[in-house]
Amino acid sequence: MTTFPEDSILVLLGTTPSGELTKSAAGLLGAAVGVGTPVALVVALPGQGAEAASEAGSLGAKHVLMAEMEELSSALGVPVVDALTVAADQVQPDAILITNSLDGRDAAGRFAARKRCALAVDAIGVGRDEEGVLAHHSVYGGAYNVDCAPTFGPLVITVREGSIDARAEAVTPTVDVLDVKPSGAAAAIVESFEEQTAASTRPELRGAAKVVAGGRGLSSQEQFALVEELADVLGAAVGASRAAVDAGYVPNSYQIGQTGVSVSPQLYVALGISGAIQHRAGMQTAKTIVAINKDPDAAIFDVADFGVVGDLFEVVPQLIKSLSARKG
Ligand SMILES: Cc1cc2nc3c(=O)[nH]c(=O)nc-3n(C[C@H](O)[C@H](O)[C@H](O)COP(=O)(O)OP(=O)(O)OC[C@H]3O[C@@H](n4cnc5c(N)ncnc54)[C@H](O)[C@@H]3O)c2cc1C
C-alpha cells in the first residue's frame, strides 16, 4: 500500500456524468500544492476512473486514489462520503479540500459530521502556519479577511469556485484503487432521471472567469438583454442582483450575493447595480471589477477598479460596438 507524505492534502475531485473532472479541479489542486502534497480522490462510475485519474495528474495530483462506484448513479451524497472516509483513513491528511459547489458542500458537511472534523466553508484561499493548515475567508460583504484553523484534526475546507489562481505542475501520479464498502448510511435514492443538454453557449455562473451582471437599473426584462449581449461579446456568464431577480428580469439562479451565488471571476462587470453589501458579499473577491452606474455616489464604485458614471443604455451599446470591432 502507498505510504502518503506527512504533509498530504486530500483533494476531492468531482466528475461530470460523462466522466471528466469538473472545472474546479485545477484550482483545488493549485491550492493544495501551495500547502502540502496533493493527493486526489476521484470518485467515478465504473470504467470512468482511469481517465479522470490521469487528468488529475495533469493538474498536479501526485497521488490519486480512485474509487469506481456503481452506487454513484443512484444514491445522492453517501457514496462519495463513503469513499472520502476510506481515503482520509488511509492518507491521514493535514486538510481536506472540496469545491464549494452544491455537491461539494453536501459531501463536506456529511463527511465532517461523520468524522467529527472542523469544517470551514467558502474559503477563498488556504495557507499554512507552524500549527497546520488555515482557511482564508472574505466575510461581512468582503469588509474583513479572516483566517480559521481547527483546534484538533484535519480541517475540511470548501473552496469558492474561481477563487484560486495558483496552478500545480503536471505530474505522473501514482494511482491506487480504493476499495469502498457501502456504509449503508441513509441516502436519497434517484429512481429515474432525464438527461438534458443545456442550450446555452455561455459559461456557467459558478466558476466563470468573466461575469456580466445586471441590476434594477436595467428597468425591464426586455432591456436586460443588453446585459446578455455584453456577456456574449466578452464570453462571460450572466448574473444579476436580487432586485433584478425579484423584478422578474431573470431567474433566481442568476442571483449573485449573500443569498445567491458567490463568484470570484477575473472580470466582473456590474451594470445598473448600486452595490448593496448583500450583493458585494457575492462578488467582491473578483480580481477586476468594472461598474457602470449613473449615480456617482453608488456604493459599487467603492469596490470597483474601473468605473463609468453614466447611463448604461448609452455606455453599454458603445462598449459592445467597440469590443465587437476589436474582435473583427
Ligand atoms: C437578507 C438580505 C439578503 C439579500 N441578499 C441579496 C443578494 O444575495 N444579492 C443581491 O444582489 N441583493 C441582496 N439583497 C438586496 C440588497 O440589499 C439590494 O436591495 C439589492 O442588491 C439592490 O439591487 P440593485 O443594485 O439592482 O438595485 P438598486 O439598489 O435599486 O440599484 C439600482 C442602481 O441602478 C442605477 N441605475 C438606474 N438606472 C440606470 C441607468 N440607466 N444607467 C446606469 N445606472 C442606472 C442606480 O443609480 C442604482 O445605483 C439582500 C437583502 C437582504 C435584506
Question: Which CATH number characterizes residue 273's domain?
Answer: 3.40.50.1220
- Give the model confidence (pLDDT) of 27-61 as tens digits: 999 999 999 999 999 999 999 999 999 999 999 99
In a domain, 265, yes or no: yes
- Is the pLDDT at 162 greater than 90, yes or no? no
Q: Is 279 known to sit in a ligand binding site?
A: yes
pLDDT number for residue 75: 83
- The band of 198, judged by pLDDT with boundaries at 50, 70 and 90, is low
Q: Report whether 39 contacts 68 (CB < 8 A).
A: no
Residues 6+ apart with CB under 8 A from 285: 124, 138, 142, 160, 163, 262, 264
Which range of residues forms the domain containing residue 100? 8-177
- Give the model confidence (pLDDT) of 280-310 as tens digits: 999 999 999 999 999 999 999 999 999 999 9
Both 253 and 145 in a single domain?
Answer: no
In a domain, 199, yes or no: no
pLDDT number for residue 16: 85
Q: How many C-beta atoms surround the C-beta of residue 309 within 10 A?
A: 14
The CATH number covering residue 130 comes to 3.40.50.620
Instruction: Select from 177, 199, 221 the last residue of a domain.
Output: 177
Residue with cell 494511482: 175
Atom of ligand 1 nearest to the CA of 257: 8
Reference 134, options 159, 163, 161; nearest CA is 159
Q: Report the pLDDT averaged over residues 130-142.
A: 90
pLDDT number for residue 72: 86
Reference 84, options 38, 142, 42, 52; nearest CA is 42
Q: Report the pLDDT averaged over residues 228-233.
A: 97
In a domain, 107, yes or no: yes
End-to-end CA distance of the chain: 57
Distance, CA of 318 to CA of 257 (rounded, Å): 28
pLDDT number for residue 194: 81
In a domain, 217, yes or no: yes
Both 150 and 226 in a single domain?
Answer: no
Both 172 and 130 in a single domain?
Answer: yes
Both 149 and 247 in a single domain?
Answer: no
**DSSP 8-state symbol, 160:** -
* 217 pocket-lining for ligand 1 (C-beta < 6 Å): yes
Distance, CA of 308 to CA of 292 (rounded, Å): 5
> Phi then psi for 70, rounded to 5 degrees?
-60, -35
- Is the pLDDT at 13 greater than 90, yes or no? yes
Both 214 and 299 in a single domain?
Answer: yes
Distance, CA of 206 to CA of 24 (rounded, Å): 10
Structural domains in the chain (count): 2
Both 60 and 115 in a single domain?
Answer: yes
CA angle 320, 322, 325 (to 5 degrees): 105
pLDDT number for residue 200: 73
Residue from 258, 292, 313 to probe ligand 1 pocket by mutation (most atoms less than 8 Å from CB): 258
Instruction: Select from 125, 158, 177 the last residue of a domain.
Output: 177
Q: Of the spans 135-144, 196-205, 215-224, which averages the highest pLDDT?
A: 215-224
Both 168 and 86 in a single domain?
Answer: yes
Residue from 279, 283, 312, 313 to probe ligand 1 pocket by mutation (most atoms less than 8 Å from CB): 279
Distance, CA of 171 to CA of 207 (rounded, Å): 24
**DSSP 8-state symbol, 222:** T
Both 142 and 22 in a single domain?
Answer: yes
Q: Which residue has the higher pLDDT, 262 or 227?
A: 227
Q: Report the pLDDT averaged over residues 215-242.
A: 97
Q: Give the rounded percent of residues in the chain with a pLDDT score beyond 70.
A: 99
In a domain, 88, yes or no: yes
Both 164 and 271 in a single domain?
Answer: no
Q: Is 266 known to sit in a ligand binding site?
A: no
pLDDT number for residue 192: 86
pLDDT number for residue 324: 94
Both 27 and 168 in a single domain?
Answer: yes
* 223 pocket-lining for ligand 1 (C-beta < 6 Å): no
In a domain, 1, yes or no: no
- Give the model confidence (pLDDT) of 256-270 as tens digits: 999 999 999 999 999
SS3 15: strand
- Is the pLDDT at 328 greater than 90, yes or no? no
- Is the pLDDT at 171 greater than 80, yes or no? yes
Instruction: Select from 177, 201, 232 the last residue of a domain.
Output: 177
pLDDT number for residue 129: 95
Both 128 and 15 in a single domain?
Answer: yes
pLDDT number for residue 274: 98
pLDDT number for residue 141: 72
Q: Is 241 known to sit in a ligand binding site?
A: yes
In a domain, 193, yes or no: no
Both 311 and 231 in a single domain?
Answer: yes
In a domain, 293, yes or no: yes
Q: Report the pLDDT averaged over residues 103-120.
A: 96
Q: Give the rounded percent of residues in the chain with a pLDDT score beyond 90.
A: 82
> Phi then psi for 288, rounded to 5 degrees?
-125, 125
Q: Report the pLDDT averaged over residues 97-105.
A: 94
CA of 224 to the centre of ligand 1 (A): 14
Residue-averaged pLDDT of the chain = 94
Q: Report whether 123 contacts 30 (CB < 8 A).
A: no
